A and B are shown apart, each in its own frame.
Chain A
Amino acid sequence: MTNPIGDIGGADFILAIGTNTTESHPVIGLQVKKAVRNGATLVVVDPRRTEVAGLAHHHLQLKSGTDIALLNGLANVIISEGLVNKEFVDTRTEGFEALKEAVAKYTPEYVAEITGISPGVIREVARGYATAKNATILYTMGLTQHICGTDNVLAVANLAMLCGHIGKPNSGVNPLRGQNNVQGACDMGALPNVLTGYQSVTLEDVRSRFAAAWGVSELPAKPGLTVGEMIEAAARGEIKGMYIMGENPVLSDPDADHVIHALEKLDFLVVQDIFMTETARLADVVLPAASFAEKDGTFTNTERRVQRVRKAIEPLGEAKPDWQIICLVATAMGYPMQYGSPAEIMEEIARLTPSYGGISYQRLESRSLVWPCPAPDHPGTPILHVGKFARGLGKFHPVEYVPPAELPDEEYPLILNTGRRHFHYHTGTMTLRTGALEEYYGREHLEINPADARSLGIADGDRVRVVSRRGQVEVTARVVDTVPPGVVFTSFHFPEVAINKLTNTARDPVARIPELKVCAVRVEKIA
């Protein structure tokens, strides 16, 4: 996020795209509700009528995967109606002419054809966003899990820069990240192309600095493979061994049967987790890890805030914190790795990572810190891009609409959309074992529009089979009008409804994010 969570409550205009905020980020949802109570205009872009969409002044129920057309359409109106923040565009950005040219054809009428949203609404939303004092854009996986995920984000950035709604309070471009420490895992260089603080592995001086600190002569220079690419490489027999820590790709990744096949093909798989997950079952060795309650550490939240995790109890049985296990494996492989505590590890991180340079456990004891925090006396940076973008001028990146990789046809006439439920989390490893959440919400269902249900002869509560080109699952139907005709929805929390057996592995070419929000399926009633 460019801005803190607390800023959302003070915005005058909120454009929420592909975010089921009140269910997936309930506490951020409170800020959205607060803003609306204080008179802000809320616009929600989502094919489904979620709770937050119900609160919106405009719910743009667009056709799945047509976000770029909509965003370009908004830019078109802003430019053609002279609502551009000229001062901001002139002094802070470059490439405006190219953008202007690219969005010229996305008139509201043209966009309406693609998205299904009326031209009048598009105009009204564009005017509202452009003329608001402080407008903020929120988005999550509904925007990014598309083959054009990167372009979607660029289109959002274009919009914010056009109106100067960035680099100031109560505005910005704000991805709401879905996992407790997904931001931190990226910051720490658990990515194939960068080391900590997004320092590229391809840069010689970066590598040599890390090599020196880590006491080795050199580090690999070639960017590695992403999750999906590793799975592919494993399926082809090119990757022979994998070490998986606290991840459950069998349920979380698209085309689950293919993931299982790839992992089974490995010569050796070690999985480190707190439960025997669907992925761990495939392992040769399973190492028992400690839960968050059993270790010290830090998490970095979606607004880049580094916060302490504190040990409350001893690890269960013989389980060990992940950091200790990694040290043991590294040491056994001939590279002695020893730390007295996570605080010591953070000292090393701070030395190697400019954006974490001023972060220490001593400072975190009294309050959290938002990176970039380059020095021990730096207060942290809650708002990014104030006065200047990281690269200097903000560059407009013109992007074009492309349809999703797999669209409905006669054989698979419906679009399957996936996401999360309020009472559960990710692959359900934790929330299905709480003694409370699963008791209240213990069974998954498939949401289907009454029109589709009627034509398929499906009644509420019927068991149905959902089939795509890659797999099938059985689930109970719930007939609701919160999904539009032609779209069905369910979550990926429940192993018995492993919906990612069906989803499409088609990926965004840059971010390599799979298109989990759109694939073609058919639904059959089970006799």
Chain B
Amino acid sequence: MANVTLTIDGQKVTVPAGTTVLDAARSAGIFIPTLCHDPAIPGFGACRLCIVEIPGMRNLPASCVTTVAEGMVVHTASEAVIEARRTIIDLLLANHPQDCLTCEKNGDCRLQDYAFMYGVRQTSFHGERKNHPLDDSNPYIIRDQNKCILCGKCVRTCQAVPGRSVIDFGYRGFNTRVVTAMDVPLGESDCVYCARCVAVCPVGALTYKPMAGKGRTWEMQKKSVTCTFCESGCTFELNIRDGKVIGITAKEPGPGRPLCLKGRLGLELLYVEKPMTPMLKKDGQFVPVSWAEALGLEGLVDRMKEVEGQP
């Protein structure tokens, strides 16, 4: 494939034709922030945080949907770019709850990262705010639409799974939000809780319900494991706090098959301190008995005890 050479922040970068400016910059180790971009589901261009300055172009194009051209000159951190990014963050924060205090995503939130990086301490806009009820209609995923920044990653991830498309954008303008068909709670939809949407959500709009209240992101140690329920070999992350596994989160789906729910269940079995005592029905009543008795091995055990100690 033909290569093109462009200049990004004064650095010559050569990439295959057709590459986006974002990918070209990242390949050269140049940082550009993104919220809606995901390498697995690219080309959305909605959040505009990845805008750059390209002399000769009108406005500031989104680098994730702009293809490189020979001789192109790109500035990824010019004054205009920084100011635009600050304004975008400012606008997002204008309708985002300020509850990092107790938010489960605190410490692992892109919006927070960029607000800190660009020094946007608080929003300078005041207006109507969303006030959606929390959707915790199912045991697996908590949806907080108030925190949603409409990046559409969950929608596109869900659509990428054959036969799913459980969620999509609904309504218009300020009322736009991500909804299930007929806007029913997730618990009443076709959702199978593969949680791929939770894995890609950049903010606190989608979080794992089983982990709510169990620890802050910075307290977690992560450990990758491969699921053993089926032959797909999906990988999960164990979330460990103070030496105890408190939750399992989705990572990459296995080839050709989505992450299913099974792999993340059964965590409680890890911490069953003492297996229950076996019960045997005697005279119509269950009574606790030893494992040996339950398995009918008593005679054998007795015999072994007899033999023990004999020459």
Give yes or no for direct A-B contact (beta carbon below 8 Å). Answer: no
A residues apposed to B, CB below 8 Å: none
B residues apposed to A, CB below 8 Å: none
